[in-house]
Amino acid sequence: MDTIQAIQNRRAIKHYDPNHRMRPEEIEQLLSLAILAPTAFNIQNWRLLLVEDPEIRKEIRAVAWDQAQVTDASLLIVLCADLRAWDRDPARYWCNAPQEVRELMVPAIRQYYENREDVQRDEAMRSSGIVAQTIMLAAKAMGYDSCPMDGFDFDAVAKIINLPEDYVIAMFVAVGKGTKEAWPRPGQLPLSSVVIKNKF
């Protein structure tokens, strides 16, 4: 499936075949595509927590409005972000760049993020949104369905997964074999309502 078709056909699917399992090589392919998503300064601050244990999935479902896709989808990815990724050996993000680029970019990371907690969090959410969409489009191209989710108790999930103190949860993405199509699109705004040119 090409990119345009994947964008047109991707929907938030709620019902999945609980007996379907993705092959390890499919999961690796999906995640390898996901991590090609861009991040500011290439800090790759997202962390993709795969919840494979059925008992942990049940715990999460209990604090996620009992949504079936939490337990029934082949993959449950808790999209987290490391708020301190910018400070954790930042030279590694530019290790393959030419020296003059490294010397410019690596110090710029600290200058941009240090003592700016709001920027760190905002960037984490932007990065997580981009990687989530990459996962969903890649999944569709691979013949799978997906569902982005924020209908859960963030604090309760953080406890269940032992979320480190300097990490945040952005959302879930469930991926698997859908068993029921989504409703027809409920109402797409026209371009004239959402596209503004030059100034408001």
Query: What confidence tens digit (pLDDT) does each residue in 12-40 have?
Result: 999 999 999 999 999 999 999 999 999 99
Specify the pTM: 0.95
Architecture of domain 3-182: 3-Layer(aba) Sandwich (3.40)
pLDDT digits (tens, 9 = 90+) for 142-151: 999 999 999 9
Q: 107-115: long-range contacts at Cβ-Cβ below 8 A with a sequence spacing of 24 or more?
A: 108/41, 109/41, 109/43, 110/86, 112/40, 112/41, 112/86, 113/86, 113/87, 114/86, 114/87
